[in-house]
Amino acid sequence: MDHFLYRDGQLYAEDVPVAEIAAKVSTPVYIYSTATLTRHFRLFDEALDGLPHVVCYAMKAASNQAILKTLAQLGAGMDVVSGGEYARAKAAGVPGDRIVFSGVGKTRAEMRAALEGGIRQFNVESEPEMQALSEVASEMGVIAPIAVRVNPDVDAKTHAKIATGKSENKFGIPISRASEVYAMAAALPGLEVVGIDVHIGSQLTDLEPYRLAFTKVGELVDRLRAEGHDIRRLDLGGGLGIPYTRGNEAPPLPKEYGNLVKEVLGDKGCEIEIEPGRLVAGNAGILVSEVIYLKQGEGRDFLILDAAMNDLIRPAMYEAHHDIVPVVEPAPGAEQAPYDVVGPVCESGDTFAKQRNLTALRPGDLVAFRSAGAYGAVMSSEYNTRPLVPEVLVKDDHFAVIRERPSFEEIINRDTLPEWL
């Protein structure tokens, strides 16, 4: 469910007409719904009711300060994967003891910054990382809390580029080597083992891979405790999918996910940490674009928009589907025709959809890409010197620009000429 609905023939974001935002801010523009962000976070929080837990929003999905602040005020922790994300989380008012630091390539500088600013735990992914973190913590005279990310060799049955739990993926240590790696961690002077971390991928639409992975984690809890480790936290990652295509079978609900966690791991006496990102932010955002041209090609028609792959790269990178809907509601039974929906960037990959059936559109009409709140704005770039898309947050009947569109002058002035030029 989201809060982008037609009303009186117009697409609304909560109680604000989308066309009104586009007229004021211009297009392309990302628009987020506070009500949807709030609802989806609470669904996860309520799904784990009865277990000690922390919901750490995976802020790589969408990291604007206004979004982080909205979630922080609801009690969210944050899952960060870089020093920059850590700084963003702190700037949004998230205390260090609610921030989990994940990622395979943490630098010593990032480790030091997190230890200085406060951290709930580091999810470490290799022996060299553990050694480096222990050295940094010892130099600072502190102890770094860690969970070791284990790779359970479970096929998440998702896109190859967002699968993370198979043996050939770069993430974590093989679960078969967990005893050896945990023994090493326990022997390092700057570390305190507090738990286990697992994350098998993104956009999962079936609970069975979770069941397989969580069952292996439960068995590992028993083995590590028998070996003398104090396992008191289980970080189960995120990855639950969202329905990108309306009308198709919906992925599992957070409540169903929560029931599975309770069934498989509820008797372990551990605090549960989860890191949802896509399901919190995905359907909470749309990308609005204007039609520039209709172009007749050889055997196909092209709908050319002012949004491009640098604004929303998921279709080009992942062959991802986003429903594309007109901002003015089509009449019931309106005739449709197939279009290739493309942007103006000089790449054949700048294609959002091929032979997508849409109602008739004209230059100047507005369209919205649904489910664009996650991995949209955060993955955008200024390729072709196209300014970053502005972001807008809606709450009830009012809205605010939460990231301005930079001018060409601002973009160009970031360059610095060497003295010989």
Q: Quick one: CA dihedral 237, 376, 383, 69, positive or negative? A: negative
- Residue 342: beta bridge partners? 304, 351
Catalytic position from the list 346, 414, 415, 420: 346
Answer for the pair 394, 31: CB distance below 8 angstroms, yes or no. Answer: yes
What sections of 276-320 are H helices per DSSP? Answer: 278-281, 314-318
| CA distance to 63, 322, 369, 375, per residue, from 285 (Å) | 13, 12, 9, 10
Show the tokens assigned to 254. 């957070």
Show the tokens assigned to 215. 């069952």
Show the tokens assigned to 373. 């709140």
Spatial CA neighbour of 286 closest among 317, 322, 251? 322
How far is it, in rounded angstroms, from Cα 87 to Cα 78? Answer: 11
**Is 56 one of the annotated active-site residues of the chain?**
no
What sections of 141-207 are H helices per DSSP? Answer: 178-187
Answer for the pair 267, 230: CB distance below 8 angstroms, yes or no. Answer: no
State the DSSP H helix or E strand holding residue 115, giving kind and residue range, or none if neither: helix 108-117
Q: Give the pairing of strands 285-296 and 366-369.
A: antiparallel
Q: Which residues are catalytic?
A: 346
